């Protein structure tokens, strides 16, 4: 990726999601101006990485640090104890990018100051291999150049979409933010079902994993919608139709998925208070 930050990138929290995104940024070269990580656990996966400095607390950052972007990647439950220490970076040249589920733009405007440029983002963990998808929602203080820069950051680790309606973010979280966990569970369930049908455990796991991965790639590469792709592999009266009659029953996968996504979206709203 040709674009570079002109000033440091500050990553506040370096857990699984923050670390996955940083890994992608470092591979892309977008963070060439230098990365500062604040993480009490020491962000051990990035210790010794060229251009990366790790500190345990905001108080350990240099007084003259002037980040171009501050990524807030701490868990929502820890936000109150953490975010206020970074209000000193609220200025027109710094944009705060939050990846915390359920934490609203209004929360950050109150914690960081009414003038803070804030972008609420929901990424997902496939960002670690450049296959993520993120949705960004900027506040009114965010300049167009800052929004473009944030979008480039997310495009360095996958697809990125910009919206201006923050009320959609809970549904985004429920579909794509939490979605990888649903797929991982489906792989596990499919593999276990294969074992119950008589397959060796290792073979069944390999079949389930590659089937889901390959189907996803096919869906992405094809011009046909998923419904047509399903029809393409379903012979009338065949084995696939027998299975789909179970999955597509009134109490099958669709209502189950509707309830799952609704539960995740509801929890996002609860986290927002």
Q: Tokens at residue 263, please?
A: 């539960």
Residue 38's pLDDT is what? 96
pLDDT digits (tens, 9 = 90+) for 136-194: 999 999 999 999 999 999 998 899 999 999 999 999 999 999 999 999 999 999 999 99
Q: What pTM was estimated for this model as a whole?
A: 0.89
Residue 273's pLDDT is what? 72
pLDDT digits (tens, 9 = 90+) for 97-112: 999 888 999 999 999 9
* CATH number of the domain enclosing 235: 1.10.3730.10
Residue 5's pLDDT band, with cuts at 50, 70 and 90, is confident
Q: Is the same domain home to 146 and 186?
A: no
**Residue carrying structure tokens 């390959």:** 214
Q: Give mean pLDDT, residues 29-49.
A: 86
Could you tell me if residue 4 is inside a domain?
Answer: no
Nearest to 46 by CA among 10, 12, 8, 19: 19
Residue 72's pLDDT is what? 96
Nearest to 135 by CA among 117, 143, 147, 145: 147
* CATH number of the domain enclosing 90: 3.40.50.720
Q: Is the same domain home to 17 and 123?
A: yes
Residue 95's pLDDT band, with cuts at 50, 70 and 90, is very high
Q: Is the same domain home to 39 and 158?
A: yes
Residue 2's pLDDT band, with cuts at 50, 70 and 90, is very low
Q: Is the same domain home to 136 and 189?
A: no
Could you tell me if residue 1 is inside a domain?
Answer: no
Q: The domain containing residue 64 runs over which residues?
A: 9-170
Provide the sign of the torsion angle of the four alpha carbons 10, 15, 19, 20, taken in this order. negative
Task: Report the domain count for the chain.
Answer: 2
Q: Is the same domain home to 19 and 104?
A: yes
Q: Is the same domain home to 33 and 166?
A: yes
Distance separating alpha carbons of residues 116 and 222, to the nearest angstrom = 42
Residue 109's pLDDT is what? 96
Q: Pick from 170, 190, 215: which residue ends a domain?
A: 170
Could you tell me if residue 33 is inside a domain?
Answer: yes
Nearest to 156 by CA among 128, 183, 181: 128
């Amino acid at each position: 990726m040709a674009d570079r930050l002109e000033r440091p990138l500050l990553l506040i929290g370096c857990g699984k999601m923050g670390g996955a995104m940083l890994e992608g940024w470092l591979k892309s070269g977008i963070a060439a101006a230098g990365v500062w990580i604040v993480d009490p656990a020491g962000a051990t996966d990035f210790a010794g990485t060229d251009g990366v400095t790790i500190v345990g607390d905001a108080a350990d950052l240099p007084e003259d640090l002037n980040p171009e972007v501050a990524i807030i990647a701490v868990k929502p439950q820890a936000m109150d104890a953490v975010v206020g220490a970074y209000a000193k970076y609220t200025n027109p040249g710094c944009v705060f990018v939050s990846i915390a589920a359920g934490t609203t733009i209004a929360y950050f405007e109150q914690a960081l100051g009414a003038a803070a440029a804030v972008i609420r983002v929901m990424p997902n963990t496939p960002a670690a291999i450049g296959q993520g998808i993120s949705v960004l929602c900027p506040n009114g203080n965010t300049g167009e150049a800052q929004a473009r820069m944030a979008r480039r950051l997310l495009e360095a680790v996958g697809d990125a979409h910009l919206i201006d309606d923050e009320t959609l973010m809970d549904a985004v979280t429920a579909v794509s933010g939490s979605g990888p966990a649903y797929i991982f569970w489906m792989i596990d369930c499919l593999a276990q079902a294969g074992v119950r049908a008589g397959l060796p455990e290792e073979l069944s796991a390999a079949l389930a994993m590659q089937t889901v991965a390959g189907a996803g790639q096919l869906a992405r590469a094809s011009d046909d919608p998923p419904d047509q792709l399903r029809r393409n592999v379903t012979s009338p009266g065949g084995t696939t139709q027998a299975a789909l009659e179970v999955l597509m029953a009134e109490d099958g996968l669709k209502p189950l998925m509707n309830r799952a996504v609704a539960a995740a979206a509801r929890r996002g709203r609860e986290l927002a208070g």
